[in-house]
Homo-oligomer: A and B are copies of this chain.
Amino acid sequence: MKQQKPSKFSVFETELMKTLIEKAKQFQGFTHPNPLVAAAIYHKNEVISWGVHRMKGGVHAEVDAIQGANDNTDGASLMVTLEPCTHTGSTPPCVSAIIKAGIKEVIFAIEDPCNLVRQKSAKTVLEEHGIQVRSGLLEKEAYHLNHDYMYFHQNKRPFIHLKAGMSLDGKIALSSGESCYITNELSRKKVHEMRSKTVGIVIGSGTLVSDNPKLTVRHGYLENKQVPPTIVVIGNKKIDDCHDYAIFESGYRSILVTSNEHNDHPSFSDVWVIPKTTNKIIDWTLFFQKCYENNMYSLLIEGGQKTFSHFLEGGIVNKCSFFIAPKLFGQADAKSVVELTRVDTLKDIFTLKNITIEQYDDDTCITGFCSLKENDTLINNNKGE
């Protein structure tokens, strides 16, 4: 990711790239496991056609733009938010289509970190065919557009976002277990938006059994998007295999993650048996491998206390969002959002960085990044959102 000097790009080119990033963003939640990409064919500061990648298996943005140009591509330029692919996946490589169309110049924002693509860079292939290539225009914004996809391919692990709804005093349930609707409707709607943008939703056995949530995408965020599978991380616990949990009702994919190979429930689509290690519910490295194999480039951790605590103490959470209702539970034995075992002095406590705050009616959402080395790129790239 070498940032080229901005002077290499004209005002027209910069504005066009901004527009492309906005066009790509409209398909958030639709393109998994592919990234969001938009492209344009233009000639002498005039756009001939636009292209966008709409869903997995659909044409790539570059090909969409070329097709839209109705053969007016010879000698034209192509701009795209991500390095064009050089490999054959669901569709033939975009570089071939670009060469065939007689494009004379390609500008892309950022290189594609996906291994498949990096076997041979687009720049190399295109330049071998006499096509001029420039890159690095609005690189940060383009990273930002696909930050979870980028993070996933750079680090071979999902981007993990923890989301909790709680009271001002950090409680998620009364001592009686009562917990329904701590946060307000607008906050819950925002959670559905977050779900619509993630690849997998994680809960623990406690949440499955006591809350029995649906974990579907509602409030108008579903439409034709893929519903993220629910991943239930239970470690070596046993869950009731006769119970019909609400997550199965939707018919969407559900994955049981257990350290006990005898654990099962007939309704789960998959069972991942992952051994536990000292102090950890499961071996996170093996869990990441499973996520990588399954192209799960982002996870939303939805609860409850034990799952939040396991993930935080595992040092694997990238980002946290706390939705805070303006309520004080005040009960000494109410359930706290987390219970960490390794805190003795103020130096041990968990600190979030690069805080942003949002208000949803009377609820406040505080979002921050955890101190992970891999988070640095994210934070430097526009807070990685």
Interface of A with B (CB < 8 Å)?
A: 166-171, 174, 176, 178-180, 309, 312, 322, 324, 326-332, 334, 336-340, 343-346, 349-355, 357, 359, 361-364, 366, 368
Contact = CB atoms under 8 A, between A and B. Distances in A.
Given A174-B349, A355-B364, 20 more contacts: A168-B352, A168-B366, A169-B336, A169-B338, A174-B344, A176-B344, A178-B345, A179-B346, A326-B366, A327-B351, A328-B337, A328-B338, A330-B340, A331-B340, A334-B343, A354-B362, A355-B363, A357-B359, A362-B368, A364-B366
A328 B340 contact: yes
18 contacts: A169-B170, A169-B337, A174-B346, A174-B349, A176-B344, A176-B345, A312-B328, A312-B330, A324-B366, A326-B353, A327-B352, A329-B340, A329-B349, A330-B339, A331-B343, A352-B362, A354-B362, A355-B363
Given A170-B169, A355-B359, A330 B343 contact: yes
Contacts of A329: 340, 343, 349
Contact of A309 (B312, B330, B368): B330
A322 B179 CA distance: 22
Nearest to A182: B346
B362 A364 contact: no
Tell which of A167, A328, A340, A361 has the most Cβ of chain B within 10 Å: A328
B343 A353 contact: no
B344 A327 contact: no
Contacts of A336: 169-170, 330, 332
A81 to B, nearest CB: 31
Contacts of A345: 174, 176, 178
A52 to B, nearest CB: 35
B180 A346 contact: yes
Nearest to A322: B168
A2 to B, nearest CB: 31
Nearest to A352: B326
Nearest to A330: B340
A349 B309 CA distance: 25
Nearest to A331: B343
A327 B339 contact: no
A180 B349 CA distance: 13
A175 to B, nearest CB: 9
A312 B350 CA distance: 29
Nearest to A347: B178
A326 to B, nearest CB: 4
B349 A167 contact: yes
A208 B148 CA distance: 49
A307 B334 CA distance: 20
A355 B349 contact: no
A244 to B, nearest CB: 27
Contacts of A168: 170, 322, 337, 352, 366
Contact of A327 (B331, B350, B359): B350
A345 B179 CA distance: 9
A171 to B, nearest CB: 7
B357 A330 contact: no
A343 B339 CA distance: 21
A146 to B, nearest CB: 26
Which 9 A-B residue pairs are closest in the complex by CB-CB distance? Answer: A330-B340, A169-B170, A170-B170, A326-B352, A328-B350, A355-B362, A330-B338, A326-B368, A357-B364
Contacts of A344: 174, 176
A350 B330 contact: yes
Contact of A349 (B330, B337, B339, B362): B330
